[in-house]
Amino acid sequence: MNAHPPHIWTDWQAQQRAARISSADLLAAVGLSAADFPAGVIAAPEFPLSVPPHFLSLIRPGDRHDPLLRQVLARGEEAAPQPGRLTDPLAEADYRAAPGLLRKYRSRALLIASGACAIHCRYCFRRHQDYGETMLTRSREAEALAAIAADSLIDEVILSGGDPLSLPDARLAALVTAIAAIGHVTTLRLHSRTLTTIPDRVTPALLALLAGTRLRVVIVAHSNHANEISAEVAAALGRLRAAGITLFNQSVLLAGVNNDAATIAAHCRRLFAAGVLPYYMHLTDPVAGAAHFDVGEAEARRIEAGLRGLLPGYLVPRFVREVPGREAKTPLADLS
Ligand SMILES: *Cc1c(COP(=O)(O)O)cnc(C)c1O
Ligand code: SF4
């Protein structure tokens, strides 16, 4: 069923380019049709489809409920009227400290290192962003780095996006070198969905670059279901671990993907087997077009309690919601 056997793809940038796919081709690749979805499928959505070949190969053919397919297929539900839902649900525009730099929390600064992602997740809270305005570009880099250098409270710089691992190695290396030159920064963190969607991104050059910096390196992988942690993904994560990098995973609690304790427990165990600890389980943000992924707070509390019975404490992710204006992410238990 898969038009692109994963083994022929070794060039990660070619995989990134090959990820653009039409709704019709995605459905054909997994042996389904629009008629399998009660609210239909959007043929040409404004936020276009993007599904890297490796991720596509992990979708079970013929299963319209497949949890990976649900994350990438533009279903008719996206077009339903969604009153009260926002295009910038986190009010991120309020936290722009310099172009490309978000400063919400005291000790950590976040760089929007890239506006691109290999995969397009239908639940994405940044799906409506015009990255042209907010992204870090080479010409704006100096201003953002100067703002970090001027503030000694910042000891951790987070590369996010979009996806920072969609950048070529040379650009990433230049950025890491510039950050390492700021004396009070001790830790470099990358948030990336690429590790689990294009595991070939973990090239020897990337490993050398991350192992070679004076900074402590933390990577927070983004994945939502055990089926995403293939043997290839586990091997890529293992290479990062062997290079001395600390690995975490964050997920989004998504209806129809991972909204039950047994599914999350299986995912957390698979992650741990690959040397990765669960970090956050995010409740969805009220972004327009993604209401069909929402899991209510009451259900989230039941799932969290269920997980405590299934997993050792160190494998239970922290259930949180992003509340604009707070000093840190808010634990589910503290939400009213
Ligand atoms: C989530 C986030 C961080 C990191 O928060 P941690 O709790 O340290 O993971 C930093 N900056 C912004 C803007 C964030 O949204
Ligand atoms: S990888 Fe992250 S930023 Fe990119 S589309 Fe998915 S959720 Fe959004």
pLDDT in tens, 323-335: 888 889 999 999 8
What is the best residue among 88, 108, 126, 186 to mutate for testing ligand 1's pocket, by most ligand atoms within 8 Å of CB? 108
Q: Which of 79, 107, 132 is the last residue of a domain?
A: 79
One domain for residues 21 and 136? no
Q: Is the CB of 158 under 6 A from ligand 1?
A: yes
What is the DSSP-derived secondary structure letter of residue 279? E
What pLDDT does 11 receive?
92
Q: Are both 104 and 60 inside the same structural domain?
A: no
Q: Which residue's CA is the closest to the ligand 1 atom numbered 1?
A: 329
Establish whether the linkage from the previous residue to 162 is cis, with ω within 30° of 0: yes
User: Which of residues 48, 79, 110 is at a domain's end?
Assistant: 79
**pLDDT of res. 1:** 42
pTM over 0.85: yes
102 lines ligand 1 (CB under 6 A): yes
Q: Are 156 and 187 in contact (CB under 8 A)?
A: yes
pLDDT, tens digit, 9 for 90 and up, residues 232-260: 999 999 999 999 999 999 999 999 999 99
State the residue range of the domain holding 327.
Answer: 92-334
Q: Which ligand is nearest to the CA of 284?
A: 2
In this prediction, residue 84 carries a pLDDT of 75
Q: How far is CA 148 from CA 109, 119, 268, in A?
A: 7, 30, 34
Mean pLDDT by 10 residues, the chain (336 residues): 52 94 98 97 94 98 98 94 74 82 93 93 78 75 94 97 93 96 98 97 96 98 98 97 97 98 98 98 90 96 98 98 89 89
* CATH code of residue 162: 3.20.20.70
Residue the block writes with tokens 């962003």: 129
Calpha distance 31→280 (Å, rounded): 34
Closest ligand relative to 328 C-alpha: 1
Return the pLDDT at 2: 45
- For residues 22 and 98, membership in a common domain is answered with no
Q: Are residues 157 and 63 in the same domain?
A: no
On whether residue 247 sits in a domain, the answer given is yes
Tally of domains in the chain: 2
- DSSP classification of residue 314: G
